[in-house]
Amino acid sequence: MNAAAIKSAYLAPEGLQETLIKGLDGVIAVHDRLVFSSQPPQDTCWAQNIWRNPQAHRINSISDAAKKLRAMQQNWCLYSYRLHRRAQLILEKLPAVKCAPLSFPSSVSPPPLGSFTLLDENTLLASAECSSRFPNGEVHFVEDKVGPPNRAYLKLYEALTLAAAAPRPGDFCIDAGGSPGGWAWVIHRCGAEVLSIDRAPLASSVAELRGVSFQKRDAFTLLPAEFQAQGRRVDWLFADVICYPEKLYQWITKWVAAGICANFICTIKFKGEPDRATVAKFSAIADSRVLHLFHNKNELTWFKLNSPVA
Ligand SMILES: C[S@@+](CC[C@H](N)C(=O)[O-])C[C@H]1O[C@@H](n2cnc3c(N)ncnc32)[C@H](O)[C@@H]1O
């Protein structure tokens, strides 16, 4: 492979290489989870990290590689698929990057982070510009093994951290598909009021929290008219419902059209192959974006933040 032909690179989430590759143009090589393309950076939602300007550099030693990287910028992370020891020795010669788990909520805005790998013993591929400021797109948090009823809270920690926004005291939130209550627990921690909707009950430890209420019903019967009639605004609509993406899309567009909700964070879940047509429809909703979070499995997260409230 001609290293100069690499114009962009994509790190797939664990187990999702095929899903990533199917949506990319110009794939010229795949090394474990790292995919090289001969095309300029593409805005895929299936990459954990996108290397936007990868450049190949001839190196004659470990020190030479570290010197070349330092000349480009300060902070680097390594994704190595071969020559692991040599690559690691290069990394050790670079300024240490802080990667301690984050405490939620975190106001820390990590500095820009480049990524590098070794194509062969004497060729370094380095991208000073990457889509994620977390090493290889991995966002780790200090875990709470006592409070939340499941691990879903980590997904919302990550979504809110990337959004650099969170429900505030006084905010009213809807949490569709909220049981057993990991997300409701996070919203409560943020100090906001939350109405969880699910066919299954919340864990009692969450149901008992102040500011948490629950309705046992089909989330898709919850429509903006119910709130418009009471003159209520909704600050955040969260949805983590197991359903077909199209069903979620049909429901969410009613909420977007009503203009009474400021912020949305919803997971789009797939059974097997992703429904790319519906993902494209979500992406086309104004001022919104779709991402694959580190804590997402075979699902994506749709964000629409701070839309004007009617
Ligand atoms: C992945 S779990 C949600 C986990 C939750 N976010 C948490 O933090 O604990 C998906 C939930 O969707 C609920 N669900 C599926 N279809 C639903 C529907 N039509 N209406 C309401 N809830 C539904 C399931 O009962 C399940 O509790």
Residue the block writes with tokens 């991995």? 138
- Of all protein residues, the one whose alpha carbon is nearest to atom 5 of ligand 1 is 178
In 3D space, the residue among 182, 181, 121, 189 whose CA is nearest the CA of residue 155 turns out to be 182
Q: Splitting the chain (310 residues) into consecutive groups of 10 residues, what average pLDDT does each group show? A: 94 97 97 98 97 97 98 96 98 92 88 97 98 96 97 98 95 98 98 98 98 98 94 95 98 97 98 96 97 97 73
Question: Is the CB–ligand 1 distance for residue 218 below 6 Å?
Answer: yes
Locus of tokens 């994506």:
300
Tens of pLDDT, residue by residue over 226-243, are: 999 988 899 999 999 999
Cβ(241) – ligand 1 distance below 6 Å? yes
Compute the distance from residue 225 Cα to the ligand 1 centre, in Å.
22
For residue 140, give every residue at least 6 positions away whose Cβ sits within 8 Å of its Cβ, in sequence order, or none: 99, 101, 102, 294
Domain with CATH 3.40.50.150 in the chain: 153-304
Q: What residues have CB less than 8 Å from 255, skipping those under 6 apart?
A: 224, 234, 237, 261, 264
pLDDT of residue 108: 76
Task: Find out whether the beta carbon of 274 lies less than 6 Å from any atom of ligand 1.
Answer: no
Q: What is the pLDDT of residue 99?
A: 82
Which of 205, 241, 246, when mutated, tests ligand 1's pocket best, judged by the most ligand atoms within 8 Å of its CB? 241
Q: In the chain, which segments carry CATH 3.30.2130?
A: 3-137
178 lines ligand 1 (CB under 6 A): yes
Residue 298 in contact with ligand 1 by CB distance below 6 A: no
Which residues lie below 8 Å from residue 66, measured CB to CB, with a gap of 6+?
A: 90, 93, 94
148 within ligand 1 shell (Cβ under 6 A): no
Q: Which residue's CA is the closest to the ligand 1 atom numbered 8?
A: 182
Give yes or no for a contact between 127 and 53, defined as CB atoms under 8 angstroms apart. Answer: yes
CA torsion sign, 153 to 222 to 256 to 173? negative
Has domain 153-304 been given CATH number 2.40.110.10?
A: no
> Which residue, 212, 249, 252, 231, is CA-closest to 309?
231
CATH C-level class of 3-137: alpha beta
Q: What is the pLDDT of residue 151?
A: 97
| 269 Cα nearest atom in ligand 1 | 1
CA of 221 to the centre of ligand 1 (A): 14
Angle at 132 between CA 99 and CA 139, to 5 degrees: 40
DSSP 79-93: --SS-HHHHHHHHHT
The structure tokens listed for 148 are 């939340």
Q: How many CA atoms lie within 13 A of 199 on its CB side?
A: 7
| The pair of three-digit structure tokens given for residue 141, joined into one six-digit string | 């948090």
74 CB neighbour count, 10 Å cutoff: 13
Residue 243 CB–ligand 1 contact under 6 Å: yes
Summarised one tens digit per residue, pLDDT across range 152-201 is 999 999 999 999 999 999 999 999 999 999 999 999 999 999 999 999 99
Please name the residue whose Cα sits nearest to atom 11 of ligand 1. Answer: 177
